[in-house]
């Protein structure tokens, strides 16, 4: 007696498995492509934001240098100590505050000409970073500190300036939006 060998897999079953494997590979390839595209877009947005932030930081550093140079120059040229010079700094020239300018003005006037504010011994300014973000800086001066560090950065903060809007509403405790529940 001879036994007949029966094949478990027919030709049709092998073809179906091959088709399923190919479809799986195509689906995973498309998912990978979509993920890579989203990651590329996110990295470009992040690169643009980082560039804008560092450009704003550079502008802040330039303004900081102008203010500090002006105050130090005013003290040196007038022979003043920091306790008297907090009220007077040099007049800005064509390219910002220049050392050696003949005219002097108050810190408030310099702050105004540079687009800064001066209140309570603090220069403060905001530089836009993005449409709804700005870099906020506050420089405090200590006029009574002779020969020491007479200034301090009180604030260096990236602040969101846009208005927050709730885009999702949830039903809590059986109360929908617009309905009021009376408590008894």
Evaluate whether residue 8 is within a structural domain: no
Evaluate whether residue 56 is within a structural domain: yes
Evaluate whether residue 174 is within a structural domain: no
Evaluate whether residue 11 is within a structural domain: no
Evaluate whether residue 27 is within a structural domain: no
Evaluate whether residue 35 is within a structural domain: no
Evaluate whether residue 14 is within a structural domain: no
Overall number of domains in the chain? 1
Rounded Cα gap, residues 66 and 113, in angstroms = 12
Per-residue pLDDT of the chain (184 residues), as tens digits, is 566 666 655 668 888 999 999 999 999 999 999 999 999 999 999 999 999 999 999 999 998 888 888 777 766 766 655 445 544 543 344 444 444 433 445 666 667 767 788 888 888 888 999 889 999 999 888 766 656 677 888 999 999 998 888 877 777 666 665 556 555 5
108 within 8 A of 60, measured Cβ to Cβ: no
Domain that holds residue 153: 43-160
The confidence score (pLDDT) of residue 91 equals 38
Model pTM?
0.62
Evaluate whether residue 22 is within a structural domain: no
């Amino acid at each position: 007696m001879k036994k007949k060998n029966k094949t478990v897999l027919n030709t049709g079953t092998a073809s179906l498995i091959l088709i399923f494997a190919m479809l799986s590979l195509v689906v995973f390839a498309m998912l990978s492509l979509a993920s890579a595209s989203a990651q590329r877009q996110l990295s470009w947005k992040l690169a643009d934001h980082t560039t804008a932030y560092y450009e704003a930081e550079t502008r802040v550093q330039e303004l900081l240098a102008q203010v500090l140079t002006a105050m130090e120059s005013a003290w040196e040229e007038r022979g003043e100590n920091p306790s008297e010079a907090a009220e007077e700094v040099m007049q800005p020239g064509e390219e910002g505050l220049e050392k050696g300018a003949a005219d002097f003005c108050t810190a408030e006037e310099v702050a105004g000409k540079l687009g800064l504010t001066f209140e309570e011994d603090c220069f403060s300014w905001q530089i836009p970073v993005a449409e709804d973000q700005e870099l906020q800086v506050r420089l405090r001066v200590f006029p009574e500190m002779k020969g020491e560090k007479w200034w301090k950065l009180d604030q260096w903060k990236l602040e969101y300036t846009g208005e927050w809007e709730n885009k999702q509403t949830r039903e809590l405790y059986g109360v929908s939006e617009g309905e009021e529940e009376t408590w008894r």
